[in-house]
Structure 1
């Protein structure tokens, strides 16, 4: 009986749960679940203020300007490499043709003098590492004339030059590929910056766009005020220059001679520079109203450095394509000493440039969506200025 008892299953007890306890547990579970979901849910980003949007858009346009200069740089390098590669390939083709003619002459020499060996003379010559080595091995050099030896020596020289030229062409092709890759990358970067700026602006309501326009007007008014101050300073400086010039003429007794040190204008070195600047300004004014297009250098549209390059070209001065190279061209001048025609560069990364026209103003191609126009040089932070000629 005890043995049977040891095999009996223990009877489980059933615990009854009251409806109140069951409801409370379910409620707690729901609260816990909701709390967990709330904790895991990403908080929604607050909408940026109009001031933040304005600052971000300005920064994106500046970055796009920097990328545009990279694009211009890569485009210029690509064109140079493409021309270089084309020239090298043409020269290599001509040299190869000449080598083939020389090889044919050498083959005729070999065929005329070859007497032993199972391999045909022309084939043996073609497979040889060097015609010199081939003729040495076959002991034909001693039987050759001076002219034939000269042909062999000339062939060896041409062959070495052709090999060197092929290596140069290969290197140039690789460099061209790198330039093309950089060009594509710069183009994509510009487009990405501009797309982001457009996206930010598109999210603004009508009221926010009005506020943004007001901010821009305030910024422009401040820049205009500074330009007016500079215009007053320039007017005073010019009046003082004319007064001194008149005194000099009176001291000379009304003579027509020019005293040593007499200039032709305020800060101007000579009449030639003034004439060049006049051509630059005439061209720049004629472009007002044409659209900004990044990477463009005229005649229907421009980016900032494309406009300055085209303007100074009319005065017979060749400027590099990018702002980074243009800032190194000519004589550096202080803002207080600016003269019409001088180039004014902006931002620490030198990503923008305009043509100074006097009175604190410039003509420039501002940014995408804007046209070439006159504007205060104080609208953007000035990096420095140069006088190309």
Structure 2
């Protein structure tokens, strides 16, 4: 922003016009700073002037909730829905893994059964050969032979035959044991799959209930109150970001993005404006961890699907070492995640009813920073 200074030697009218223009520039700049998704660069990294005072909301009727109370209640409901969404996504990922494992085990069982069939066929062929020889055991046939050469040759073949028969029985037993083990594993995976299905259903029900309650609260508001609600959200984010910056959190943060990190950031920011939908991974909509996981997949790196698993499995880095492409995990329950894009800003899918947008990295309580391409 240009410095707003008086021009020495100017006329009184010029000074008034300059002051008026300066005030307009200042108001525009502050409006940009308080609108997530519009500000870029140092607008998020440097403390800004106080936000302009919003028109006072009408006083609530006695006993009625204030708009700020409604905002906090809606925010809390959506946060609970976000935590349930993480549980749903995790159960879905685990269910897919169990399904894949069951298919793998089924293929092993089919191969084992085919092996047993082949071994039984070999055993049957040996029995038929013995029948054709008159039913005498090979040892008896050797004892009755009057040709020493044939006797010795037959003795060698007998030993080989006995070893082959022994090996075949061992292999038959081992294959049968493997099949039994596969069957037990399949049963265990089926049980886990069913447990994950029940977890998904419970999480889905909770998500739908929380979102429905929040939407009902929001739908009761008049158009003017809804606009004011958005403004209150922006003010709360602005205050949190300003308080975070005032701690000096960004003072030493100047890490440069890797090539993969740049690709992840490019993907994430290209989704700005697309709606939040719980459980969505694109291309038309995203939830918070759907956005971050797909962004890194586009950069060539597969990472866990949920914010809680991203926190658990990805390497943590100190805030001062944060660089574009890193993921910021929010709240104590790790129920939200965003991607740091530089200069104190992050991009995220906020909640149902809102679109993918850019906001201050400190506009929510930070739990940890993790690095997909450590």
Shared fold by TM > 0.5? yes
Which residue pairs with 2:187 in the alignment?
170
Quick check: 1:228–1:359 contact (8 Å CA) kept in 2?
A: no
Per-residue deviation, 1:354? 0.7
Which residue pairs with 1:18 in the alignment?
none
Q: 1:315 to 1:229 in 2, by over 3 A?
A: farther
Per-residue deviation, 1:315? 3.0
Partner Cα distance (1:377, 1:154) in 2? 62
Which residue pairs with 1:20 in the alignment?
none
Quick check: 1:342–1:386 contact (8 Å CA) kept in 2?
A: yes
Per-residue deviation, 1:338? 2.8
- The match for 2:265 among 273, 276, 281 is 281
Q: Give yes or no for the alignment of 1:62 onto 2:79.
A: yes
Task: Please give the per-residue CA displacement for 1:187-243, whole angstroms capped at 9, x wherever unaligned.
Answer: 22211111111112122344543543342242243245457769x985x769xxxxx
Partner Cα distance (2:191, 2:130) in 1? 44
Which residue pairs with 1:201 in the alignment?
218
Q: Secondary structure in 1 aligned to 2:119?
A: helix
User: Which structure 2 residues correspond to residues 300-339 of structure 1 after superposition, within 5 A?
Assistant: 300-339=284-323
User: Which structure 2 residues correspond to residues 35-74 of structure 1 after superposition, within 5 A?
Assistant: 47-74=64-91
Task: Please give the per-residue CA displacement for 1:8-64, whole angstroms capped at 9, x wherever unaligned.
Answer: xxxxxxxxxxxxxxxxxxxxxxxxxxxxxxxxxxxxx95433222211110011011
Per-residue deviation, 1:166? 1.3
Per-residue deviation, 1:317? 2.6
Q: Which moved more, 1:73-82 or 1:212-221?
A: 212-221
- The match for 1:157 among 174, 178, 200 is 174
Q: 1:233 to 1:155 in 2, by over 3 A?
A: closer
Quick check: 2:323–2:342 contact (8 Å CA) kept in 1?
A: yes
Q: Give yes or no for the alignment of 1:96 onto 2:113.
A: yes
Q: Secondary structure in 1 aligned to 2:368?
A: strand
User: Which structure 2 residues correspond to residues 1-389 of structure 1 after superposition, within 5 A?
Assistant: 47-107=64-124, 109=126, 145-206=162-223, 208-223=225-240, 225=242, 266-267=254-255, 274-388=258-372, 389=374
Partner Cα distance (2:164, 2:258) in 1? 65
Partner Cα distance (2:339, 2:78) in 1? 20
Per-residue deviation, 1:304? 0.9
Structure with greater Cα Rg: 1
Relative to the length of structure 2, the TM-score reads: 0.68
Quick check: 2:245–2:362 contact (8 Å CA) kept in 1?
A: no
Partner Cα distance (1:163, 1:213) in 2? 61
Give the number of aligned pairs: 285
